[in-house]
Amino acid sequence: MTSSRIIQHPILNFERGKKKVLYFEDKPVEVYENESVLAALYANGVRIFSRSRVLKRPRGAFCLIGKCSSCLMEADRVPNTRICITLTKDLREVRYQESSASPPKTSFFIAKKPEEIPTDILVIGGGPAGLYAAMYASKYGANVVLVDENPTIGGQLVKQTHKFFGSKDLYSGIRGFEIAKKLAKILHKRKNIKILTNTSVFGLYSGKLAGAYHLRRKQLLKIKAKQITVATGASERFLVFENNDLPGVMGAGAAQTLMNVYGVKPGEKALMVGAGNVGLIVSYQLIQAGVKVVAIVEAMPRIGGYLVHAAKVRRLGVPIYTSHTIKSAHGKEKVEGATIIALDKEFREIPGTEKYLEVDLICLAVGLNPYSQLLSQAGCEMVYIPELGGLVPKRTRYQETTISGIYVAGDVSGIEEASTAMLEGGIAGISAALKIIGNNEKALNEREEMLEKLEKIRAGRFFERIRKGLRKVLIDERRGNSTY
Amino acid sequence: MNDAGIVRIEDLRRLKLIPPHSRMKAGPVVVVECIEEIPCDVCVAACPTRAIVKKDINSIPSVDFDKCTGCGSCLLACPGLAIFLVDLSIGSGKGRVTMPYELLPIPSKDDKVVLLNRKGEPAGEGRIVKVVRSADKTYAVTVEMEDSKVRDVRAFRVIV
Ligand SMILES: Cc1cc2nc3c(=O)[nH]c(=O)nc-3n(C[C@H](O)[C@H](O)[C@H](O)COP(=O)(O)OP(=O)(O)OC[C@H]3O[C@@H](n4cnc5c(N)ncnc54)[C@H](O)[C@@H]3O)c2cc1C
């Protein structure tokens, strides 16, 4: 099998690290130590990572950020390992597991004592929102612990090869992955920030205690904080169509992780479903990675993303079919083709307009859902706001939820942009810090400036829906919040 | 073919984003194909002569073509790859378009390329006359073509 690793890329250099051998189903496979197990296997032609329980249908790569459970495998005898966020350097062998896994044969999970980590402020999630929350809380002297379950911090930023839109003072005009590096550099220098990657927070308990698990150390962490900012981002939406579970159907963000983080081509010929900014930008990134984008379909009668992003792919010859959707995927054990179909004004399929496309990759870019489960679990008052992408917490203009001392920032509080995520993060960071350090004129002023900037960005036409959504979730900051 | 995702010349004209013919005759000048109110002001910050202005971060850019020196700083900076330079100063029926480029292969001077219009349709052949690389890997590639094509050509495919 030939490898689908990208050797040359117009923007990116891949630091794959040393070569090593990983055993997959007892057969040696050549991998690099900085690749995730999934990326390494994918590069070697593996497309099936598990099977459904009853019908044994193949399951492929879908989210690539540890959320969807399609890639659970037995890794060094530990079942249910999310191989998409596990690097090969930590492993000797992986194998398929029976769909109902047996308990681990070793007991090192419980062998290690949980580590207790006290801190002023805990920030959960290391995307632009979390990075800003940590940066601004630490700036005013608070001690911060920042955790992220991925191997590197940066969130969505690490996968973006394009220069970001926005205002010049918020890193616009710089490529996403470069912004992540710049921010990481600033944070690593701060003595009062402790960064924990490969660490999943699984629950928030009374007294601002967070339960977390260190995936590499395989150790339980008890993080005891005075204030918490939740900046967990979003997860990709799924779409209903025939054979939508075939390997080769994946989230657009998953394709990005494969090609832009690990340098592995997700396919040769792609269909993109969705012409919002994500669908348009990822289409361009697929072309940069050497994948042919056969078409983009969009159910709405018009393109949702910015015209500049659409124009960029159109002039390279990629058709965008508006008022079209995907009807079905075809293929035996993986995608070999797709049928698209036109929709009428009521979004009903128009029989006879089917078109068959030969593709081996179907990317879904049909929106994001706030990844807000931790906030629900903690007991924050949640509301379903379609304009913000789903279930989000009520909060004050200072980003504080209905639980005093639990803040929220970024996509988890409503799907927007990196620039707004940063500002919300900064505002949450300062607000949390103020509770630790007491009143501080400079901090208060800086927070007001950020609020003003946020308002300016949101004044635009593309933020009409966001403004409408926000009006439904904002609560008065003077109203007493409940304590936890 | 549908028009979804195509920047229309009428809109560029209406928004006064197409430089006057006399200015194009005088040398390279900018065409900012950014006609929506999106929150971005990277071009404004990049312009050394303040030829590009935005009333606020969400407004549509406006260009003072007399101030524009055709330096291309904005072209290399624009996150939307939406800025081009056109040049009708060379005469003998030829014109030049400078385009942002972030793909492979990297072309070299004198390479022949297939010209593409805004819909990605082939529009004849052109010749690379200049390739400039920015520090952050965006290329500004200048392609020479028949002068009548300068209005429509916005991409190219390197013939390998
Ligand atoms: C293709 C694409 C292009 C984009 N282009 C632009 C652009 O040009 N300009 C712009 O302004 N915006 C852009 N955006 C939007 C921008 O990337 C997002 O709005 C932004 O990243 C949101 O930041 P965040 O910090 O809220 O979330 P994220 O960046 O998603 O980060 C969340 C982090 O939280 C971590 N996490 C989640 N749950 C847990 C847990 N339980 N424990 C530990 N860690 C956890 C995740 O691993 C992740 O790293 C783009 C987005 C996409 C997908």
SS3 A390: strand
Measured distance CA(B43)–CA(B45) in Å, rounded: 5
Nearest CB neighbour to B118, from listed A172, A175, A311: A311
Percent of chain B with pLDDT over 70: 99
Instruction: Identify all chain B residues contacting A455, using CB atoms and an 8 Å cutoff.
Output: none
> What percentage of residues in chain A have a pLDDT greater than 90?
88
Residues 6+ apart with CB under 8 A from A332: none
Please state, in angstroms and rounded to a whole number, the distance separating the CA atoms of residues A335 and A357. 11
In 3D, which of A265, A262, A257 has the Cα closest to residue A47? Answer: A265
- Domain locations along chain A: 19-95, 115-235+369-473, 249-368
Give the pLDDT score at A316.
98
Is the pLDDT at A240 greater than 50? The verdict is yes
Pocket test for ligand 1, best of A156, A260, A273, A306 (most atoms within 8 A of CB): A156
- C-alpha A261: how far from chain center: 13
A contacts of B149 (beta carbons < 8 Å): none
Give the pLDDT of residue A105: 63
Flag whether the ipTM exceeds 0.95.
Answer: yes
A4 touches chain B (CB under 8 A): no
Contact A142, A120 (CB under 8 A): yes
**Would you state the structure tokens that stand for residue A288, as one six-digit string?**
């940069």
Give pLDDT tens digits for A363-405.
999 999 999 999 999 999 999 999 999 999 999 999 999 999 9
Angstrom distance (rounded) from CA A253 to CA A264:
14
- Give CA separation, B63 vs A188, A190, B44, B73, B97, in Å: 41, 42, 10, 14, 18
Question: Are A270 and A296 within 8 A, CB to CB?
Answer: no
Cα–Cα distance measured from residue A187 to residue A129, given in angstroms and rounded to the nearest whole number:
13
- pLDDT (average), residues A107-115: 72
Amino acid at A115: E
CATH code of the region A249-368? 3.50.50.60
Cα-based angle A205, A210, A216 (whole degrees, multiple of 5) = 140
CB < 8 Å to B56, chain A? 456, 459
Of A135 and A104, more confident: A135
The confidence band for A119, taking pLDDT boundaries of 50, 70 and 90, is very high
Report CA-CA distances (Å) from B2 to A181, A362, B6, B101, B149: 40, 22, 9, 25, 21
Q: Whole-angstrom Cα distance, residue B74 to residue B84?
A: 9
Taking the Cβ of residue B38 and every Cβ of chain A, the question of whether any pair is shorter than 8 Å is answered with yes
Which residue in A100, A150, A161, A155 sits closest to A129, CA to CA?
A155
Tokens 């920015």 -> residue = B134
Residue A446 Cα to ligand 1 middle (Å): 24
- Those residues whose C-beta lies under 8 Å from the C-beta of residue B44, and which sit 6 or more positions away, are B52, B53, B54, B61
The CA-based angle B152-B155-B159, given to 5 degrees, is 125
What CATH number does the domain located at A115-235+369-473 have?
Answer: 3.50.50.60
Nearest CB partner across the interface for B154, out of A307, A315, A321? A315
Note whether B31 contacts A: Cβ–Cβ < 8 A.
Answer: no
| pLDDT tens readout for residues B116-139 | 999 999 999 999 999 999 999 999
Residues in B touching A163 (Cβ below 8 Å): 42, 77-79, 136, 138
Which two tokens mark A51? 């099977």
Higher pLDDT, A99 or A344: A344
The residues, any chain, with a CB within 8 Å of residue A307's CB and separated by 6 or more, are: B5, B7, B35, B36
Q: What is the DSSP string of B69-115?
A: ----HHHHH-TT--EEEEE--S-TTEEEEEEEE-SSSPP-TT-EEEE
What are the phi and psi torsion angles at B42 (to 5°)? -65, -40
Q: Which of A232, A313, A399 is the pocket-test mutation for ligand 1 (most atoms within 8 Å of CB)?
A: A232
Interface of A with B in 417-456 (CB under 8 A): 417, 419, 456
Pocket of ligand 1 (CB under 6 A): A 124-130, 147-150, 155-157, 160, 164-166, 200-201, 231-234, 253, 277-278, 281-282, 371, 374, 410-412, 416-419, 421
Angle subtended at Cα A330 by Cα A324 and Cα A334, rounded to the nearest 5 degrees: 125
Q: Which amino acid is at B93?
A: G
- Residues ≥6 apart with Cβ < 8 Å to A417: A165, A166, A457, B39
CATH 3.40.50.2300 fits A19-95, yes or no: no
Locate all alpha helices (DSSP H) within A24-175, ordered by sequence: 37-43, 108-111, 128-139
- Percent helix, strand and coil across chain B, each rounded to 5? 15, 35, 50
Mean pLDDT, to the nearest integer, of A330-355?
A: 97
pLDDT at B1 over 50: no
Which residues sit opposite B117 in a β-bridge? B153
Angle at A296 between CA A291 and CA A298, to 5 degrees: 155
State the Cα angle at A412 between A406 and A413, rounded to 5°: 70
Q: Could you give the CA distance from residue A24 to residue B11 in angstroms, rounded to a whole number?
A: 57
- Confidence class of residue A478 from pLDDT cuts 50, 70 and 90? confident
Whether the predicted model's global pTM rises above the 0.80 cut: yes
Q: What is the DSSP code string of A30-67?
A: EEETTSBHHHHHHHTT----EE-TTT--EE----SSS-
- pLDDT for the residue A1: 45
Cα A365 to Cα A272: distance, rounded to the nearest angstrom = 7
Please check whether residue B125 lies inside any domain of the structure. Answer: yes
Does B159 reach chain A within 8 Å, measured CB to CB?
A: no
Would you give the DSSP letter of residue A259?
I
- Please indicate whether, in this complex, the C-beta atoms of B116 and A316 are within 8 angstroms of each other: yes
Phi, psi of A202 (to 5 degrees): -110, -10
Give the model's confidence band at A446: pLDDT under 50 very low, under 70 low, under 90 confident, else very high.
very high
d(CA A447, CA A466): 21
Classify residue B3: in a domain, yes or no: no
User: Same CATH fold, A249-368 and A115-235+369-473?
Assistant: yes
* pLDDT 10s digits, A452-477: 999 999 998 889 999 999 999 999 98
Q: What is the pLDDT of residues A257-316, one digit of tens each?
A: 999 999 999 999 999 999 999 999 999 999 999 999 999 999 999 999 999 999 999 999
Cα-to-centroid distance, A388 and ligand 1 (Å): 15
Residue nearest to atom 30 of ligand 1 (CA): A233
pLDDT-derived band of residue A481, with 50, 70 and 90 as boundaries? low
Number of the ligand 1 atom closest to the C-alpha atom of A420: 11
The answer for A 288-327 residues in CB contact with B (under 8 A) is 288, 290, 298, 302-303, 306-322
Closest CA to A229 of A127, A343, A363, A82: A127
Report the C-alpha gap between A11 and B122 in whole angstroms. Answer: 26
Determine the atom of ligand 1 nearest the C-alpha atom of A164: 8
Instruction: Identify the pLDDT of residue B160.
Output: 82
Q: Which of B40, B156, B122, B37 is nearest to A164 (CA)?
A: B40
Atom of ligand 1 nearest to the CA of A199: 43
Selecting from B34, B38, B120 the residue whose C-beta is nearest the C-beta of A318 gives B120
Interface contact A7, partner B, CB < 8 A: no
> What's the average model confidence in pLDDT over B45-68?
96
**pLDDT of A108 above 70:** no
Min Cα separation A123/chain B (Å): 28
Q: What angle do CA B21, B27, B32 make, to 5 degrees?
A: 70
Note whether B145 and B96 are within 8 A (CB): yes
Spatial contact of A160 and A176, defined as CB atoms under 8 Å apart: yes
Number of structural domains, chain B? 1
For residue B155, give how far its alpha carbon lies from the nearest alpha carbon of chain A (Å): 6
